[in-house]
Chain A
Amino acid sequence: MAIKATARRAQTSAPASVSESSWIEIGGLDKEYRPRKSAPTLALSDINLTVRRGEFISVVGPSGCGKTTLLKILAGLSPKTGGTVRIAGRDVTKPLPEVGMVFQAPTLLPWRTIFDNVMVPAQIQKLDLRRHRERAQQLLDMVGLGGFEQKYPHELSGGMQQRAGICRALVHDPAVLLMDEPFGALDAMTREYMNVELLRIWQASGQTIVLVTHSIPEAVFLSDRVVVLSPRPGRIAEIMPIELERPRDLSVMSSDRAGVYVDRIRRHFNAAGVID
């Protein structure tokens, strides 16, 4: 598949010493907010996580546990207080070109067509536009937005806009895709559909994905491993491998084995006295 072939390029641009098994390395990560006039609050404490290349990781936790903070640190948007964060062998101190991100809202630019929105990262990073136009077209076709390239965002439904946002996050062929509750704003039906879509895109493009979500079933359905964070300050309560065979379809969700995983994760939240 053409998408797969281009995905390989990210690999060659990374330092040779990086091992596939530690594509993302988070070691002893602390994050403290220090407001000027009040006491500092610890948002994340001693986070240790190694993600292998091509893995699908979900992060779940009660509201305010620092899931989004963790993602922002990985995206280079927020500085860490202590520990190490490396993506593809590079220390994350600012946004890395190897990273793509999907946001809670589609965050498309209303004055650009869908196609030009998808091209934003390629344009910012001054990549070869001709080659990336081809890739943008392939991605749009893959998510079923072929024929909508010249439409403006307001002409598309919320689900379609979010799919365009996913294409944008993938257009520069990032080694890592970060997703911050990308389907939170969608209705239940669209959300399930988008979950299936996302698995399909991931299987075709081979990105390493870190997804933050509120939905435990969503995390179980999509992930290779689910990282459960405790309430603030966020610590890793459990890292749970999800051993459901792939490719998965929605029927997996009603299986007993998936139910066991969901229950086990939910028990963490119940024990902590929070209902998410």
Chain B
Amino acid sequence: MATTNLVRKPSQPPASSAVGSVRRRLDLREKPQLWLVPAVFVVVVLGWEYGIALIGVDEYVLPRPSQVVDSLWRQLGDDQFWGHLWVTSQEALVGFVIGVGAALLLGTFISQIRIVEATLMPYIVAFQTVPKVALAPLFVVWFGFGLTSKVVMAAVISFFPMLVNVIEGLRAADADRIQMLTVFGASRSQIFRMVRLPSALPFIFAGLDIGIVFAILGAVVGEFIGAKEGLGYLLLQTNYNFDIAGMFAVLVVLSVMGLAAHFVIRLVQKRVAFWAEDTKVIGA
């Protein structure tokens, strides 16, 4: 009978945890990564800066970090660049909201209504195996060179990881907690609101986290196929002009976009799903 205590969901804190958790002081000795991570960065950048001349790589092929920074600085002072950034951000965000929203809705239906699951699951599995990036040319044909085709691409590509997480999350609710609510007379919808949805939140945030990165990817890929603006378009332009430093500058900006989105989601997660520190990420 005591086995119910042994099988704990990751979201369930141990029953015997001490009263009032003491926040551990950050200590360089205890957490060597605090200096190791920046150290690796410095070593790589310095090695790159001064090393490539030694081994005779042409600066046109692989620009030095200082040239990338120069190029980035120039770009950031350029209004056109901000236009591109704005376009890609729009595409990614709108696509993300649509994809994730649709996944939330469909995932809820699938996890709650058996017949919907039985009917749709084979199609979803089949679609999931299609490499979504390969659909980009099709979307450009269907939705044109404007924002729409990229939004659709971002939506489609962020949809699946979110869907998988929503379904998994809504099923992850602890059976004991559901039984507890049942004893006190809870209805199906009360159980959904009071246990299933909160239990799914860590999974939903994992889906959002992957989804936002995928949405940026989708927008950029869409721009590769056919666009007149956006960071993906700019990446191709710099490529045609053999401005490799410029390409790196755009890559840096794209990375920062992804990182910023990731941190925003983590920040919201820490506030909303504060009880679950680490939940395994699925569907990546």
Q: Which residues of A contact B (CB under 8 A)?
A: 63, 68, 75-77, 95-97, 99-101, 103-107, 109-111, 120-121, 123-125, 152-158, 160-161, 172, 181, 184-185, 214
Contact = CB atoms under 8 A, between A and B. Distances in A.
A221 B15 CA distance: 26
Nearest to B191: A124
A87 to B, nearest CB: 13
Determine the interface band of chain B, counting residues with CB < 8 A from chain A: 35 or more
B182 interface: yes
A101 B276 CA distance: 26
A156 B13 CA distance: 10
Contacts of A160: 19
Given A107-B176, A110-B11, A157-B16, A185 B5 contact: yes
B18 A157 contact: yes
A156 B19 contact: yes
Interface string B215-256: 000000000000000000000000000000000000000000
Given A95-B184, A103-B180, 8 more contacts: A76-B183, A110-B276, A111-B198, A111-B273, A157-B17, A157-B18, A185-B15, A214-B1
B190 A124 contact: yes
Contacts, number: 93
B185 A104 contact: no
Contact of B177 (A97, A99, A107): A107
29 contacts: A76-B183, A77-B179, A77-B182, A77-B183, A101-B183, A103-B176, A104-B1, A104-B5, A107-B176, A110-B11, A110-B276, A111-B274, A120-B194, A121-B184, A124-B181, A154-B13, A154-B14, A154-B21, A155-B17, A155-B20, A155-B21, A156-B19, A157-B15, A157-B17, A158-B16, A172-B184, A184-B1, A184-B2, A185-B15
B153 to A, nearest CB: 35
A238 B46 CA distance: 83
A157 B184 contact: no
B183 A63 contact: no
Say whether chain A's binding surface is mostly helix, strand, loop, or mixed: loop
Contacts of B185: 95-97, 121, 124-125
B109 interface: no
Contact of A63 (B1, B174, B179): B1
Given A63-B1, A68-B1, A103-B176, A120 B13 contact: no
Contacts of B12: 110
A97 B185 CA distance: 7
Given A104-B2, A184-B1, A95 B183 contact: yes
A95 B182 contact: yes
B275 A152 contact: yes
